[in-house]
A and B are shown apart, each in its own frame.
Chain A
Amino acid sequence: MDLAYKILIDPFMQMGSAPDLLVQTLWEGLVAGVLYSLIALGFVLIFKASGVFNFAQGIMVVFAALTLVGFHQLGVPAFLALGLTITVMLGLAFTVERVMLRPLVNQPDIILFMATFGLTYFLIGFGEFVFGGNPKKMITADLYLPSGAYDIKMFGGFVSLQKIDIAAAVIVSIMVVVLAIFFQKTRIGRALRAVADSHKAALSVGISLNQIWVVVWFAAGIVALVTGIMWGARSEVSFSLQIIALKALPVLILGGFTSIPGAIVGGLIIGIGEKLGEFYWGPLLGSGIESWLAYVIALIFLLFRPQGLFGDKIIERI
């Protein structure tokens, strides 16, 4: 009875008695969700166009952020460094396509998945070798990203909104719109969707698979760079960010692997659910439930919708 009270009633009492804390928690969840969505977006881009479950997206985030900071530390002006980093990501996309994807075309999914694991290991080693293992500070001010916070009075308390978080939300919205236009309206976007539907049919109407893959990995690289800047501005740029990328996986299965809106909505659900759970129900179990709550939320959703919220319906034939 006591336990049931603690699980079912007490957290809501707390929410009711301190609405400003609730709003703050919701906001934190929203921001975390936006950042999860960003990583998930990178996954979805590649999965849609090549059917590859790109495990390396997490390390690509770290790698892009480290490259940016590394260039800046060499004395390159911030925006030139940004341009150079984009070039590096383009180079990475070319290399990945040439060295890894082209020889592995038409292999089973799990083999391609494992290959991206290999890429992850390689990039970890390479990144640590070039940039060192120490955490670095993101060059927030040089990129004209805002810092500081707005304090909004509300319900007799106040809610503090970090400016960088607001910037992140805005940037993510812009990026999603741009990506949506890119996918729906441009020639390459149409080609991408054709490749996603069927490799063979796309090849037969004269779409170059190799070119498409470079484009997609480059787009994922850009998304990784933006993610890296945003995550890095909130904490530091270090290899532990790569673990956070694993959090994008429940987001993905919640939203469905093939859906960009799914990645966004999934990210928000996971972010908010996780923060609320940790804050109000966490103390019951001993804290730290954040590490697995997201997966359990996703698992429960999956039991009812095995293809995720927005995923394509799974049709099986023999």
Chain B
Amino acid sequence: MFYREAGQFKTSYEVDAAVFPIRQDRIGIALILFIAFVVIPLTATDFVISVLLVPFLILSLAAIGLNILTGYTGLLSLGTAGFMGVGAFACYKLTTYFPNVNIVIWIFVSGFFASAVGVLFGLPSLRIKGFYLAVATLAAQFFLDWAFIRVQWLTNYNTSGAIEVPTRTLFGMPLTGPNAAPEFRYLVVLSFVAAMTWFASNLVHGRIGRMWMAVRDMDLAAELIGIRLLPTKLLAFAISSFYCGVAGALMVFLWYGSAEPAVFNIDQSFTILFMVIIGGLGSLIGSFFGAGLIYGLPIIMRFIVNLFGWQITPATVEHFTFMTVGGLIILFLIIEPAGLARLWQIAKQKLRVWPFPY
């Protein structure tokens, strides 16, 4: 009824190839951006911003990074957290060596370090694929994990073995460190996420994205139609790791404030893989859905327990969270193996023809 494209005519190829071809979608996305950039910083409490929104956005960015590799190019990776860690540690080293350069630039640049490491560990992907490749990326994960703990140069020989984020400013206001205002951190994270999502969207809708998808659907056939596999796969690794690296740097600098190497362990990799699968492989909006669900679920569980005032120990709540998350993963896979993004599409399609069934 409200969501119908009747009367919207496409008169040029540009309009036909647009990412949001329906006017309601464009209004919707503008509305979401308006709420995210203006309404939320003005109204939301510090708790909502720093416990819910900032982590959600950062995890979404990491999920987009993994989605580019796994969802669009079909290369299963279990080393996401390792690449995130490279970004975080690179950013830390850079900002302690060159404290005068703006931190935002370093967060961005640290992505390139993650890229380089990602390409290095992506090299075997030409010869091996599928689960074999997944285990090969585990090599990256465990090696990097080990390096973060053992190579003390990375933490500037800090005795605790953790990164302590120094205070850095942007526009004269503290952005990182203990004095940073949550709203300000949120806006910077949001800008990063919005800009990089926009870039990823253009990338996957363009020639490069189509090359990736051809490789995903069948790499031998893609090779035969003239796609060079090695550069294409390595590009996917590079860009995916770039996103993960930036997400890792944002995570430590704008969310945690200080981080132990354990933050970037194998569990984090799995969590982000969950987000991508539950959200929908090969879908950018799915990355946001997945991040929201997987990150939000334990918080909602805790909230429900508090709401009803049940006398349950935190340990029991945690066990039930594990069970629920596990059960839900299986349930979602059974209901819709293509993920939440597919459900969203179905819902939109239903809305378009409503009140008729089809």
Give the contacting residue for B323; candidates A100, A125, A257; CB below 8 A.
A125
Nearest A residue (CB) for B328: A118
Cross-chain contact A104 with B135 (CB below 8 angstroms): no
Interface segment out of the listed A30-38, A199-207, A221-229, A283-291: A283-291
A129-B132 in contact given A117-B274, A289-B146, A292-B139 (Cβ < 8 Å): no
Q: Is A74 positioned at the interface, with any CB of B under 8 Å from its CB?
A: no
| Interface SS of chain A | helix
Distance A292 CA – B266 CA, assembled complex (angstroms): 12
Interface segment out of the listed B92-100, B105-113, B184-192, B329-337: B329-337
Q: Is A217 positioned at the interface, with any CB of B under 8 Å from its CB?
A: no
Cross-chain contact B320 with A133 (CB below 8 angstroms): no
Contacts of B325 in A (CB 8 A): 118, 121, 125
Nearest B residue (CB) for A127: B319
Cross-chain contact B135 with A295 (CB below 8 angstroms): yes
Contacts of B324 in A (CB 8 A): 125
Chain A: residues with Cβ within 8 Å of the partner, total of 49
Give the contact-size bracket for chain B. Answer: 35 or more
Contacts of B149 in A (CB 8 A): 288
Give the contacting residue for B135; candidates A113, A252, A286; CB below 8 A.
A252
Distance A283 CA – B138 CA, assembled complex (angstroms): 23
Q: Is B231 positioned at the interface, with any CB of A under 8 Å from its CB?
A: no
Cross-chain pair count, CB within 8 angstroms: 136
Interface string of A153-168 (1 = CB under 8 A from B): 0000000000000000
Interface string of A102-144 (1 = CB under 8 A from B): 0110011111011101111111111011000100000000000
B window 4-42: CB within 8 A of A: none
Contacts of B145 in A (CB 8 A): 291-292
Contacts of B220 in A (CB 8 A): 316, 318
Q: Is B178 positioned at the interface, with any CB of A under 8 Å from its CB?
A: no
Q: Is B218 positioned at the interface, with any CB of A under 8 Å from its CB?
A: yes
Cross-chain contact A249 with B135 (CB below 8 angstroms): yes
Taking the nearest CB of chain B, how far is it from the CB of A179, in angstroms?
Answer: 22
Give the contacting residue for B281; candidates A100, A110, A285, A306; CB below 8 A.
A110
Q: Is B206 positioned at the interface, with any CB of A under 8 Å from its CB?
A: no
Cross-chain contact A133 with B330 (CB below 8 angstroms): no
Contact residues of B with A, CB < 8 Å? Answer: 76, 124, 127-128, 130-132, 135-136, 138-139, 142-143, 145-146, 149-150, 218, 220-221, 224, 266, 270, 273-274, 277, 281, 315-316, 318-330, 333-334, 337
